[in-house]
Amino acid sequence: MTGGQSRPVASGCERTGPFAGRGLRIARRLAVGVIGTTVILLGIALLFLPGPAFVVIPVGLAILASEFVWARRMMRRLKASTVELVRRPAGDKGSDGYAVSENERLLDRDESQSSLSSPGTGVSDLPSDSLKG
């Protein structure tokens, strides 16, 4: 050293160089991976047991997303599909409270129109050849 400048002395606890803190990063990723995976497995178990599985699984995924890119992508897809599901208009409700499909709605409409054209006679159900006589 020239010019009276002194170089700082590294203590035994401090690391310098390109690999400084690498062990801490690996330990953090490992801890996040274990905790996130455990929470997701708990959520999967709650699918079959009483409990809030649909809350616990995304929480586990969010824990994993704090360290892993693949989990972040999965979280984005989950958020997008949830937003799409929430924004989707609810179908018509039948008298029993269940959603009615488009096909059921069309069948109900056709049945109501055919019963209005000839109420109680059943003439519309007969082939036109049988009416000639």
pLDDT for 95-114, tens place per residue? 555 555 666 666 666 666 66
Task: Report the phi/psi class of residue 64: left, alpha or beta, with left for phi > 0 and alpha for psi in -120 to 50.
Answer: alpha
Q: Is pLDDT at 4 greater than 90 in this prediction? A: no
Q: Which has more confidence, 20 or 29?
A: 29
Give the predicted TM-score (pTM) of the model. Answer: 0.52
Please compute, for residue 113, the number of CA atoms within 13 A of its CA located in the half-sphere on the CB side: 6
Average confidence score pLDDT of the chain: 75
More confident call, 87 vs 50: 50
Calculate ∠ Cα 124-126-131, nearest 5°: 100
Residue spans of the domains in the chain: they are 23-88
Specify the higher pLDDT residue, 71 or 1. 71
> How many residues comprise the chain?
133
Measured CA to CA, the distance from residue 104 to residue 110 in angstroms comes to 10
Q: What is the pLDDT of residue 90?
A: 64
